[in-house]
């Protein structure tokens, strides 16, 4: 508000506005202080996660079977195991197994079943394995989960990664986790409906000339401008599945 007094103009600011302005200036100054204190070009340290529910010796030194020989997926498993002291000294046995759902799952049920099948098959194939991990990427259309068993052009279609962790219990269900999901362009979905997998569709539509895209950065690396990789999105699914594996008291 402004008021005239003896030819002078006084600006009156309400206490609330003044406090808000002061708070904003304080935040900006504090942020600038801490930003200036940060070392330049220093990579963040890897934070190791400690989960009290799982005995340290539970998986230490164990053989972990992985139901794929896909390089990006195997690297993702290694990176995730290295985050947890409970997995110290683990070794990975990568096993080529059949998902039994085809090369390109077209709905969330197929994707989940593929991850489960890979985990169980890898556990049986890898001698001495104490844990097995199955990873499967597939497509789904949220609006068609009930009405349509496969992808459809009438609604957006997304790619997602599912992970199943099998801990040797023949009766128990594998622990499941998911990654983020990203939308697949309609032209690519058309190619997949015609029988192509996602990597082949990316090549057919001119997005890449890499016939092994799925083992490298993946489509997600291209459509996110290099910000996100296939390995990173796979790690999300693995860590999400570990949330149950490493917290048995929460899931009796």
Is the pLDDT assigned to residue 19 strictly greater than 50? Answer: no
Sheet of 91-94, strands arranged across:
91-94, 63-66, 129-140, 157-166, 175-184
Is the pLDDT assigned to residue 36 strictly greater than 50? Answer: no
Name the band, by pLDDT with cuts 50, 70 and 90, for residue 34. very low
What pTM did the predictor assign?
A: 0.76
Q: What is the mean pLDDT of residues 198-226?
A: 91
Is the pLDDT assigned to residue 38 strictly greater than 80? Answer: no
pLDDT of residue 152: 64
pLDDT tens digits, one per residue of 99-125: 999 989 988 999 999 999 999 999 999
**What integer best gives the mean pLDDT of the chain?**
81
Q: Which residues are CB-neighbours of 193 under 8 A, at least 6 positions away?
A: 150, 151, 153
Region of poorest pLDDT, from 38-47, 50-59, 215-224:
38-47
Is the pLDDT assigned to residue 24 strictly greater than 90? Answer: no
pLDDT of residue 165: 97
Is the pLDDT assigned to residue 225 strictly greater than 90? Answer: yes
Q: How far apart (Å, rounded) are the C-alpha atoms in residues 1 and 16?
A: 13
Region of poorest pLDDT, from 18-27, 51-60, 64-73, 130-139:
18-27
pLDDT of residue 251: 85
Is the pLDDT assigned to residue 131 strictly greater than 90? Answer: yes
Region of poorest pLDDT, from 13-17, 140-144, 153-157:
13-17
Name the band, by pLDDT with cuts 50, 70 and 90, for residue 35. very low
pLDDT of residue 29: 41
């Amino acid at each position: 508000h402004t008021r005239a007094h003896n030819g002078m103009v006084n600006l009156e600011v309400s206490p609330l506005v003044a406090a808000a302005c002061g708070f904003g200036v304080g935040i900006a100054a504090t942020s600038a202080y801490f930003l200036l204190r940060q070392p330049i070009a220093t990579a963040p340290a890897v934070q190791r996660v400690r989960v009290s529910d799982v005995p340290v010796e539970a998986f230490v030194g164990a053989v972990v079977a992985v139901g794929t020989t896909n390089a990006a997926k195997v690297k993702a498993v290694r990176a995730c195991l290295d985050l947890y002291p409970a997995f110290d000294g683990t070794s990975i046995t990568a096993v080529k197994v059949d998902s039994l759902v085809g090369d390109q799952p077209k709905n969330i049920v197929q994707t989940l079943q593929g991850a489960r099948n890979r985990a169980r098959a890898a556990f049986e194939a890898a001698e001495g394995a104490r844990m097995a991990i199955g990873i499967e990427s597939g497509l789904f259309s949220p609006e068609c989960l009930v009405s349509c068993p496969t992808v459809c052009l009438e609604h957006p279609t997304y790619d997602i990664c599912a992970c199943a962790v099998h801990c040797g219990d023949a009766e128990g269900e594998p622990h499941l986790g998911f990654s983020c999901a990203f939308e697949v362009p309609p032209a690519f979905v058309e190619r997949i409906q015609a029988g192509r997998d996602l990597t082949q569709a990316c090549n057919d539509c001119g997005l890449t000339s890499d016939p092994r895209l799925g083992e490298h950065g993946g489509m997600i690396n291209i459509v996110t401008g290099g910000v996100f990789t296939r390995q990173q999105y796979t790690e999300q699914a693995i860590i999400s599945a570990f949330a149950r594996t490493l917290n048995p008291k929460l899931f009796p």
